[in-house]
Amino acid sequence: MAIKPELTETLRHRREQIINHIPPEKLKAMHAKGQLSARERINSLFEEGTFQEIGLHAIHHAVHFGMAGRKLPADGVITGSGYVDNRQVAAFCQDYNVLAGTLGKMQARKITRVMRYALKTGVPVVAFKDSGGARIQEGVDALSGYGDVFYANVLLSGVVPQIAVILGPCAGGAAYSPALMDFVIMTRNNAHMFLTGPEVIKAVTGRATTMDEIGGAEMHASVSGNAHFLAEDDRHAIAIVKGLLGYLPQNNTEDPPHNLAMPIYSDRDAGMDELVPATPSEPLDMAAVIRRLVDDGEFLEVHRSFARNAIVGFARISGVVTGIVANEPMVMAGALDIDASDKIARFIRMCNVFNIPLVTLVDVPGFLPGIEQERGGIIRHGAKMLHAFASCTSPKVTVILRKSYGGSYLAMCSQELGADMVFAWPTAEIAVMGAEAAVKILYRKELEKAEDRAAAAKTFTDAYRTEFASPYEAAANFYISDVIEPSETRATVAVALRKLLSKREIRPSKKHGNMPL
């Protein structure tokens, strides 16, 4: 007794037809563009032999517009799960070589099925997007399919990490699925995301535009902020996915993959002292500070080219996975504006849902003054930072390096906003406003009477700066935990983070806070 050979033969034949459906010359053309086939993408993400596919034989049931009986391998999407660095990850990859990767009801069912599998098993989802959009032949079924995917995105949001990798077109409603996920990676030359394309924009507004201008990877990475990472090609994008997964927990009930076997730093780092500029007006090199603070100088920066006046990203500090939030004084003086507020708030909330501790590095002259900022709603955007920091229950360590003025002092996770530990360098200037502006208000009468107004202003300003533009006024009022030398920063932060890992904070139960949007 044994299975009839023709049965296994049929199965093998069917598999072969579905898996190897791309003609070699087409594959070669894709490779030349820096693209991989859908199968190759899945294979390069997972450890060999660990991918289990679900729905290989699933196919559409559409009959209109010549669809009846049309064989579409795997219905244009590969779905399943496998192992990345010994941790299970669910994934799906749209296949542009199957009716342009268009989405109909079956493709949507396959995608939502694998997403719900990720939810049940508590594992991250990686979504490779490469699709012409809705499968028009399926009509409202295609539309409904998108709705099902969005709903699943929202269901999973805050439970398991969701990473979207855009490797080709992702247009129209399809673009909302990545926007609902935690991270968006786009490849430089092949990826595009937009709601309405150049033709529609031309027809409606009369303005000519290009795909790159409205939906290119560089634009989304630097201007719109829709993309968190810019990859050179498919392989680079997959490398970013793996790097990112290395900092994230499997789901919201787990801790991120800390390396607690690592000894805690205790050495002084004299190099940090050297990074402090001689004068307060000369900008500090925040990127250099971060490199010295984190293990092996390894920092995975998120949103690198968007709102460059702020820096956010992942690192480990003595093995503890940490989300770093920092001002970048080299760009726009490090002032907080609308885009920087959105970037920081989004990052904080992502860290909070995945139990990632935050280290906030402060050197901020204030919120950016300006008509465009006020009219653009900096109040509600800046408020997102306040809301995000105050509602974050992950461990929060703040280090005030230099300037920390007014509302921006509070917005950069002061003690009042819930920082568990606040350290300040001796160069910290913590005050309600800058010395010049404060003197104009506090000494208005004296200045009016003064014979030499400029000299009097300088005397008052110098006195104010000595007294108040320092960490000691704030320290005396117990708004900071300690004043530390820059060379002590790495060891101090490392110890504080390790101790805070047992932090538990209970908040009043509610559906969710009403974050300003």
Chain residues binding other proteins by CB under 8 A are 207-213, 216, 218-219, 222-224, 280-283, 305, 308, 329-335, 338-339, 365-366, 368-370, 372-373, 376, 403, 434, 436
Least distance (Å) between residue 27 CB and other proteins: 24
Q: Is 379 left (phi over 0), alpha (psi -120 to 50) or beta?
A: alpha
**Measured from the CB atom, is 103 or 184 closer to other proteins?**
184
Q: Compute the least distance from the CB of residue 510 to other proteins, in Å.
A: 34
Complex with other proteins: residue 303 or 490, whichever CB lies closer? 303
Is residue 225 within 8 Å of 303, Cβ to Cβ?
A: yes
For other proteins, which is the closer residue by CB, 212 or 462?
212
Question: At how many degrees (to 10) do helices 453-468 and 435-442 cross?
Answer: 120
The contacts of residue 343 (CB under 8 Å, 6+ apart) are: 225, 303, 306, 307, 310, 312
Nearer to other proteins, 97 or 224 (CB): 224
Taking the complex as a whole, how short is the minimal distance between the CB of residue 340 and other proteins, in angstroms? 11
CA-CA distance, 422 to 435, in Å (whole number)?
23
- Rounded Cα distance between 405 and 432, Å, is 6
User: Of 277 and 297, which has the nearer Cβ to other proteins?
Assistant: 277
- Find the angle CA(489)-CA(491)-CA(492) to the nearest 5 degrees: 65
The CA distance from 285 to 10, in Å, is 64
Residue closer to other proteins by CB (options 35, 355) is 35
Distances (CA, A) of 157 to 11, 53, 68, 93, 464: 37, 23, 36, 19, 49
| Shortest distance, position 329 Cβ to other proteins, whole Å | 6
**In whole angstroms, how close is the CB of 281 to other proteins at the nearest point?**
5
Least distance to other proteins, CB of residue 439, Å: 13
- Minimum gap (Å) between residue 332 Cβ and other proteins: 5
Beta carbon nearer to other proteins, 199 or 451? 199
From CA 134, how far away is CA 148, in angstroms rounded? 13
Q: How far is CA 219 from CA 34, 275, 326, 440, in A?
A: 19, 33, 23, 43
* Alpha carbons 509 and 323: distance in angstroms, whole number: 26
